Structure 1
Amino acid sequence: MAAAARTALLTPPAGPDAEPTETQIDIRNVGKVYGAGSDHPVIALDGVTLSIRRGEFVSLLGPSGCGKSTLLNIIAGFQSASSGQLLQNGRPIVKPDPSRTVVFQDYALFGWMTVQQNVEFGLKAKGLPKARRAEIARGLIDTVRLTGFEDKFPHQISGGMKQRAAIARALAPDPDILLMDEPFGALDAQTRVLLQEEIARISSETKKTVVFVTHGIDEAVFLADRVVVMSPRPGRVREEVLVPLPRPRTAEMRSDPWFVSTVNALWETLKPEWQKGE
């Protein structure tokens, strides 16, 4: 990417709407090696350093195999780093925690439970009374625009509706951090665009910290306050792009000149690597 273009992409938002600077997730020189000590170790991450502010929406962008999902799993506490340190509010992340919830690509809903029961699941685990669980779940089902489908089972609703239910379930325990691993990857193009707009709305309303893994450039730029571009394996932070578009994000912003030029510039930068790797 030309120096002038890179400078334009990295121009931060300014003024009273700029995000606060409190660091919530602090990733310090994190590395991950699979098969360490074997004849063929795989270095998935190498020296990843990144700070994520409270309430910030960060997209991790890169080709398949660059370590995006590995990094997300380490943040979630599902995996441990081979080196470096990862902190949440100054404390090491060593295991899964209710303060961090995850939305997966394959929905991960319980097929034997209704939408309402799926959303209530985490609340039941926290010991909330039945009436309170139902009240919170109904509110979140309304937030994700599934009112009227509370008593449907996953096999009775569309893929887009399943993902809305999965988002509601992830929000139900009121986590500090929402982790999303290519949540729209299995959906058709039209549904994907609609859900991008929904998660943009929901994230603006809830003010949650969101870490969103994607290999879609337009998706990353449309949703994020900051796009973290990762290199092919071993995954490193290649560059960061601050997104000055106001919130809430709307469909019209996809035609904004800054949006169009940024997506095109990122595509030109990433295309050679993606052509080699995919």
Structure 2
Amino acid sequence: MLANASLMSPAAPGLAPQFSPEDVQIDIRNVGKVYGSKVEAPVIALDGVTLRIRRGEFISLLGPSGCGKSTLLGIIAGFQSATSGQLLQDGRPITKPDPSRTVVFQDYALFGWMTVQQNVEFGLKAKGMPKAERAEIARALIATVRLNGFEDKFPHQMSGGMKQRAAIARALAPDPDILLMDEPFGALDAQTRVLLQEEIARISSEAGKTVIFVTHGIDEAVFLADRVVVMSPRPGRVREEVLVPLPRPRTAEMRSDPWFVSTVNDLWETLKPEWQKGE
């Protein structure tokens, strides 16, 4: 058990935080996912995952490779279905992708033949928004991710960090309720990664969106989240939840906060044996 267990549910250490039903935006109830066929041995990716996510909350899903983090995110996105259990958004089953949820991937997923401006406008254009209105929204978002002056650049003309900023702006453009991020900074160098962590902390705080962020970076998970959900090795289960009491907006100085340092170290000691096994 982590040293900060007392920061969890006021009812008892180790339990999920309690909040009223009307505050729950994503309700994951005993979700399981099994891959395989009649001729292949089944692979249990998720087993009995139960998690309630509050509206406007920033959740980090943390765990070793293969623990089912991305699988769970894909089910929340509606890209795949659970084998068992139920997953609800605002009380309604999630059965397919929906504009209320957008995804940012590790590989940027920008259209190479479109400029930054065109990429950010893409979802708005698909919704039939008038040209002037969508152009104004896109310019504002490009400014939000600090890409002013790059509106007419193509993806190949930008660094990895700049492309990921553009991808975040495009994901925010349709004004989704929920932003799903699947290791979005995993392919970036360490310095750019830290800078973008601070950017997404700022942007998410300003936008007030619900964010579910998949990562295997402990420092990243704690720095960004309101709550870190630690998953076990396959089959993935929710093993532990850590509430993060750091105020927003998050700043670089918080990385030296004694609570932050202690929590990152405790999580590392918890997860190190699993990562050493190559899970």
Q: TM-score with structure 2 length normalisation?
A: 0.94
Structure 2 letter corresponding to 1:221: V
1:277 positional shift = 1.9
Which residue number in structure 2 is paired with residue 154 of structure 1?
155
Alignment of structure 1 residues 201-216 onto 2, 5 Å = 201-216=202-217
Q: Distance in 2 between matches of 1:163 and 1:39?
A: 37
Q: Matched residue of 2:26: which SS?
A: strand
Which residue number in structure 1 is paired with residue 278 of structure 2?
277
Q: Distance in 2 between matches of 1:165 and 1:153?
A: 10
Which residue number in structure 1 is paired with residue 99 of structure 2?
98
1:19 positional shift = 11
Which residue number in structure 1 is paired with residue 260 of structure 2?
259
Q: Unmatched 5+ residue regions in structure 1?
A: 13-17
Q: Distance in 2 between matches of 1:171 and 1:20?
A: 27
Which residue number in structure 1 is paired with residue 56 of structure 2?
55
Which residue number in structure 1 is paired with residue 13 of structure 2?
none
Which residue number in structure 1 is paired with residue 222 of structure 2?
221
Alignment of structure 1 residues 32-47 onto 2, 5 Å = 32-47=33-48
Q: Distance in 2 between matches of 1:8 and 1:118?
A: 45
Which residue number in structure 2 is paired with residue 268 of structure 1?
269
1:20 positional shift = 7.2
Structure 2 letter corresponding to 1:92: P
Q: Distance in 2 between matches of 1:215 and 1:6?
A: 20
Q: Is the 8 A contact 2:75 2:81 kept in 1?
A: yes
In 2 relative to 1, CA 172–19 (structure 1 residues): closer, same or farther, beyond 3 Å?
Answer: farther
Cα deviations by residue, 1:32-83 (Å, 9 ceiling, x for unpaired): 0001444411000000000000000000000000000000000000000000
Structure 2 letter corresponding to 1:194: L
Q: Distance in 2 between matches of 1:189 and 1:39?
A: 39
User: In the alignment, does 2:11 pair up with 1:10?
Assistant: no
Q: Distance in 1 between matches of 2:56 and 2:125?
A: 26
Q: Is the 8 A contact 1:9 1:262 kept in 2?
A: no
Paired residues in the alignment total: 271
Cα deviations by residue, 1:140-180 (Å, 9 ceiling, x for unpaired): 00000001000000000000000000000000000000000
Which residue number in structure 2 is paired with residue 115 of structure 1?
116
Q: Is the 8 A contact 1:20 1:54 kept in 2?
A: no
Which residue number in structure 2 is paired with residue 165 of structure 1?
166
Q: Distance in 1 between matches of 2:237 and 2:121?
A: 38
Q: Is the 8 A contact 2:180 2:212 kept in 1?
A: yes
Cα deviations by residue, 1:125-145 (Å, 9 ceiling, x for unpaired): 110000001000000000000
Q: Distance in 2 between matches of 1:233 and 1:244?
A: 29
The CA RMSD over aligned residues, in Å, is 1.5
Cα deviations by residue, 1:67-112 (Å, 9 ceiling, x for unpaired): 0000000000000000000000000000000000000000000000
Q: Distance in 1 between matches of 2:118 and 2:172?
A: 14
Structure 1 letter corresponding to 2:271: L
Q: Distance in 2 between matches of 1:30 and 1:108?
A: 28
1:8 positional shift = 4.2
Which residue number in structure 2 is paired with residue 196 of structure 1?
197
Q: Distance in 2 between matches of 1:20 and 1:82?
A: 27
Q: Distance in 2 between matches of 1:226 and 1:112?
A: 38
Which residue number in structure 2 is paired with residue 88 of structure 1?
89
1:222 positional shift = 0.2
Q: Is the 8 A contact 1:19 1:56 kept in 2?
A: no
Cα deviations by residue, 1:220-257 (Å, 9 ceiling, x for unpaired): 00000000000000000000000000000000000000
Q: Is the 8 A contact 1:66 1:233 kept in 2?
A: yes
Q: Distance in 1 between matches of 2:58 and 2:114?
A: 30
Q: Distance in 2 between matches of 1:49 and 1:25?
A: 11
Which residue number in structure 2 is paired with residue 15 of structure 1?
none
Structure 1 letter corresponding to 2:220: E
Q: TM-score with structure 1 length normalisation?
A: 0.95
Q: Unmatched 5+ residue regions in structure 2?
A: 11-16
Q: Distance in 2 between matches of 1:105 and 1:179?
A: 11
Q: Distance in 2 between matches of 1:19 and 1:254?
A: 27
